[in-house]
């Protein structure tokens, strides 16, 4: 109840709510474009008949989820492509976690991992989505009126009688 009254106070004037909503949409579009660019420039391995031709070629894979199949460690990227990975015995790994991997292609097609970096669970992505949804709900709540005949969209004109009545 306190949160609802606090949010109602923040969005008292519709021009502020529209301004905040547009800022949130711009931030969301910037986040979307950065993730699309990351996918576009991600380096890929194409399946070839003879992997020995690419022996010694360095490769960099970002956002690879590690899984274990029959005792072997397999990397799965966002497109569900699989990559057999070979790690040194002393390297600590967490299965079903996201890593960035740098390595060299071996003659058998496996990737000898030279360096890797763990990407922890990022709560801010989900928090941003939840706050966006909350803002949309507040905006809908502020601009839809319910009366005996049903609901109607609240006008955005500040001098209209409906807005002045609702503001009281």
Q: Which domains does the chain show, CATH number per domain?
A: 2-39+122-167 (no CATH), 51-119 (2.40.50.430)
| Residue 26: per-residue pLDDT | 76
% of residues, the chain, pLDDT over 90: 0
Global model pTM greater than 0.85: no
Q: State how far the Cα of 10 lies from the Cα of 150, in Å rounded to an integer.
A: 27
pLDDT level of residue 3 (50, 70, 90 thresholds)? low
Using one digit for the tens of pLDDT, what is the confidence trace for 8-26?
Answer: 555 555 566 666 767 777 7
Token code pair at residue 75: 């990397």
Q: What is the mean pLDDT of residues 143-159?
A: 54
| Residue 39: per-residue pLDDT | 46
């Amino acid at each position: 109840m306190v949160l609802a009254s606090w949010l109602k106070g923040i969005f008292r004037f519709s021009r502020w709510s529209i301004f905040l909503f547009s800022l949130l949409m711009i931030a969301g579009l910037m986040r979307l474009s950065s993730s699309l660019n990351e996918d576009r420039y991600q380096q890929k391995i194409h399946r070839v008949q003879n992997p020995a031709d690419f022996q010694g070629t360095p490769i960099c894979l970002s956002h690879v989820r590690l899984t274990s199949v029959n005792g072997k460690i397999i990397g799965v990227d966002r497109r569900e492509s699989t990559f057999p990975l070979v790690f040194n015995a002393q390297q600590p790994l967490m299965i079903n976690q996201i890593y960035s991997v740098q390595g060299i292609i071996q003659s058998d097609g496996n990737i000898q991992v030279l360096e890797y970096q763990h990407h922890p669970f990022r709560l801010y992505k989900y928090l941003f989505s939840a706050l966006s949804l909350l803002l949309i709900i507040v905006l809908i709540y502020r601009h839809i009126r319910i009366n005996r005949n049903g609901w109607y969209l609240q006008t955005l004109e500040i001098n209209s009688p409906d807005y002045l009545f609702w503001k009281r």
